[in-house]
A = this chain, B = another copy of it.
Amino acid sequence: MSKTNPARGMRDFLPADVRKREYVIGIIKEVYESYGFEPLETPAVENLEILMGKYGEEGNQLIFKILKRGEKLTESLESGILGREQEQGDGPNIPDSKLSDLALRYDLTVPLARVVANNKNDLPKFFKRYQIQPVWRADRPARGRFREFYQCDVDCIGSTSLAVESELIHAVAVTLLRLGFDQYSVRLNDRQLLNAMLERCGVNEENRTSLLVLLDKIDKITIEDFLNSIKQLGLGSAASTFAQFVVDLRSRQIELAEIAVASGKKRIDSVWAMKINTTVLDQVAGFVSGTEGGMQAVAELRKLVALTADLGIGSLVMIDPTLARGLSYYTGTIMEVSVGKGIGSIGGGGRYDGLIGMFGKEQIPACGFSLGLERILVVMEERGMFPPEIAESRPADVMVTVWSEETLADSLKLAKELRQNGLRVTLYPEPDKFGKQMKYADQIKVPWVCVLGESEIAAGTVTLKNMTTGEQQTADITETVNKIKGHL
């Protein structure tokens, strides 16, 4: 590993990468803005206690912690060492929180909750914000998993209405459409429904979290492995009942989808989607009948299916009572979006009505969605979905040559005038052999070169070379500008 590589799990983005990232971010922003969501930015660094305990035990470990500075660090080290000597234990007794007071942002939801609690009087009653910033996790790097990555979050704070979920789903659907995805689906579930199912199966409250963590991985393993893993947890027959119920639900759902395809449809249309979703909801409703949370969740999911169908995106929405989501702070609707089989989810979200209350006195409802920029970029790259001007990543419309030290001022002035005419112009930055200048123009892929030699300067003209065809013409600046603009 060269010492000039970026740090482990981190990446440098060269110009062609940045242009692709900015293209995607630009579309996401434009769509979110069109729904009245407003931009928020929070610092990369948060006080450590803001982040600790919000992401589960695994999350605590993956938070990048910043070393205390100066005297504070010295004090901590001294007290830590004393502590150890008193205990006579093995190894140093200095927890991270003694050495660290700050940490890197781990997601965009916890900072949002902090901001809302901190600015309650300055923010409108409903705060609709989007936030597109990097987050950092000290995870083991792997293919497609980085230690610095961007999240594109959109959240609405202050309302419990399903209008929020409907608009979030619609905004994500429009975003994906605008990016050029033609096949994507949003899976929906509700944490209350999961809880009711677990209750009905007789799973104790203390065992539910580990079952949901396992359920979150069901798409990545076989049914056999899933059922075996549940058995290995040793949570008794209740857990196995739950697992079997989940597996039955999934196979019934796949069966319905297959009938739809067998009936001659290439993909599931809105009529079939409604049929499948209704069937699934009827089945779970029967299972959880009598549980208050479960029945309410089913009713809300029915309503969400209807509202999204009214918005014309019914065929994208799929109720999936086995969808679990990893984060612990969700309280209601949970959602996940995928853009094809075998790619995994490119984003997800849900309702978290309890998180903001952890920072302030007041409990404020909230619901949001997060798109993962890196996954979207990987899929778009694989499928060649970038428009040509982004894929080509041209640094400028035209390059101006420099003939000699004496004519440098003329080249600088020509570049300035071309810019004043709205062109993006790069100047070859020193006098050099003509061949070298043309080679460089080729290398950076500028479509045009303005050659400014002594004869052109004397005549007040420019020789314009088309780098694709090799054609040349000598003309004044106005004609040169028009020619270039005519081809952009």
Contact = CB atoms under 8 A, between A and B. Distances in A.
Nearest to A82: B92
Contacts of A6: 42-43, 46, 114, 118
A74 interface: yes
A124 B163 contact: no
Contacts of A408: 161-163, 307
Nearest to A32: B424
A213 B70 CA distance: 23
A164 B428 CA distance: 9
Interface stretch (A94-102, A222-230, A332-340, A468-476): A94-102
Interface stretch (A60-68, A269-277, A291-299): A60-68
How many chain copies?
2
Interface in A1-55: 2-7, 10-15, 17-19, 21-22, 33-47, 49-50
A360 B3 CA distance: 9
Interface string A408-447: 1101110110010001111111110000000010011000
Q: Which of the listed residues A18, A34, A117, A160 has the most CB atoms from chain B within 10 Å of its own CB?
A: A34
Contacts of A424: 33-36
A69 B96 CA distance: 9
A10 B3 CA distance: 31
Interface stretch (A128-136, A377-385, A453-461): A128-136
A92 B74 contact: yes
Interface residues of A, number: 117
A77 interface: yes
A17 B431 CA distance: 44
A45 B99 contact: no
A465 interface: no
A409 B307 contact: yes
Nearest to A90: B78
A39 to B, nearest CB: 4
B47 A412 contact: no
Interface string A86-123: 00000110101001101010000001001101110011
Given A4-B359, A66-B65, A124-B443, A412 B311 contact: yes
A40 B69 CA distance: 30
A102 B43 contact: no
Contact of A35 (B12, B94, B419): B419
A483 to B, nearest CB: 19
Contacts of A92: 74, 77-78, 80-81
A170 B44 contact: no
Given A46-B6, A158-B429, A38 B164 contact: no
Interface string A349-384: 000000000011000000000000000000000000
B40 A13 contact: yes
A468 B401 CA distance: 55
A138 interface: yes
Contacts of A104: 44-45, 66
29 contacts: A2-B118, A3-B50, A4-B115, A12-B42, A12-B115, A14-B115, A34-B423, A35-B424, A36-B396, A38-B393, A44-B44, A44-B148, A45-B136, A61-B69, A64-B66, A66-B67, A66-B104, A74-B91, A77-B92, A78-B91, A81-B84, A81-B92, A125-B440, A126-B440, A162-B408, A163-B411, A163-B427, A164-B429, A312-B416
Given A12-B43, A81-B92, A124-B440, 17 more contacts: A5-B118, A7-B43, A13-B42, A22-B39, A35-B415, A35-B424, A35-B425, A36-B396, A36-B427, A38-B395, A44-B134, A45-B136, A167-B429, A170-B416, A307-B408, A311-B409, A312-B416
